[in-house]
Amino acid sequence: MYPIPRGLLVLALTAPLVAAPVRFDGAAEKTVAVLDFDNHSGESKYDPLGKGLAAMMVSDLSGVAGIQLVERQHINELVKELELQQSEYFDSTTAGKIGRFVGADYVVVGAISAMDPNVRIDTRVLRVESGEIVKTAVAQGKEEKFFKLQKQLSDQLLEGLEVALSPEQAERLEAQQEKNRIEELETALAFSEAIWLFDNDDYLGAVEKMVPVVRASPGSELVKLTYDHMKQRAASEGRKKAQDRLRGLIRR
């Protein structure tokens, strides 16, 4: 099992970032895996959006005490090892298999079902032990209200995970969601494309893709921290390549 320690915020990537947890009382801790959302819209340009949506869900849920989230890196490694395609994630059998391998109590899966004329996003919460779908949620609306749709999904998923927040705790969670706000669909898509590039080891390409995202959402902590992590990884990879090249020249 690869749980993320409570109180750490794992955003789009794998780097943990300190965040104030939203506390609640009287509930057992749950380990949750959020899989990349599938694209069932029929428009391939939205394929990367599933990664961004999953990252936003993780960002929201990571602020809730009593929930441990499985790191994206370990999920990605497992998916590659099992040679799974992203289009299979929404299938309950596949989701349950991934959940068992990573030691999750619950798996969150989702699908972008439509983009035109309205955006529609479907999600499910699967209890791994029994294979039971304990919650289904749908968010639907205009693309210019994308943040509202994403926030709506997060709130519904907490119900599926049987997390009851007090009014004060819900207020703090909402404040956290606002801090990570990505308003426009096109910005969310570019953010998602950057994560897709990063996951495919194109670190410099990911940084370049994030530049307009930062400009469009300058107040988003999710965007800022993801961008900083990508820049650090790109710089580290650049140094490694330079060192490898230097070693090659010395051996000649």
Give the residue extent of every domain in the chain: 8-181
Could you tell me the two tokens for 208?
């370049």
Amino acid at 84: L
Largest CA distance in the chain: 68
- 210-242 burial, b at 16+ Cβ within 10 Å, e below that, comes to beebbebbeebbbbbbbbebbeebbeeeeeeee
The residue assigned the tokens 């699908």 is 111
How many degrees, rounded to 5, is the angle at CA 39 between CA 33 and CA 40? 120
Could you tell me the two tokens for 156?
């519904």
| Among 34, 33, 153, 39, residue whose Cα is nearest residue 86 | 39
Do 191 and 13 meet the contact criterion of CB atoms below 8 Å apart?
A: no
Outline where DSSP puts E strands in the chain: 8-10, 16-18, 30-34, 38-39, 67-69, 106-114, 119-127, 132-141
**Is 3.40.50.10610 the CATH classification of the domain at 8-181?**
yes
Rg of the Cα atoms in the chain: 18
The residue assigned the tokens 């349950």 is 96
From CA 210, how far away is CA 225, in angstroms rounded? 11
From CA 176, how far away is CA 184, in angstroms rounded? 18
Could you tell me the two tokens for 239?
């140094």
Do 147 and 183 meet the contact criterion of CB atoms below 8 Å apart?
A: yes
pLDDT digits (tens), the chain, 252 positions = 444 433 333 333 443 332 333 333 444 588 999 999 999 999 999 999 999 999 988 888 887 877 889 988 888 888 777 766 555 556 778 888 889 988 999 999 989 999 888 899 998 899 999 989 988 888 888 887 888 888 888 888 887 787 777 777 778 778 878 888 898 899 999 999 999 999 999 999 999 999 999 999 999 999 999 999 999 999 998 888 877 776 776 765
Q: What is the pLDDT of residue 18?
A: 28
The number of C-alpha atoms within 13 Å of 43 and in the hemisphere containing its C-beta is: 12
Q: What is the pLDDT of residue 216?
A: 94
- 143-175 burial, b at 16+ Cβ within 10 Å, e below that, comes to bebbbebbbbbbbbbbebbebebeeebeebbbe
Q: What is the pLDDT of residue 88?
A: 57
Q: What is the pLDDT of residue 196?
A: 94
Amino acid at 15: A
Do 150 and 56 meet the contact criterion of CB atoms below 8 Å apart?
A: yes
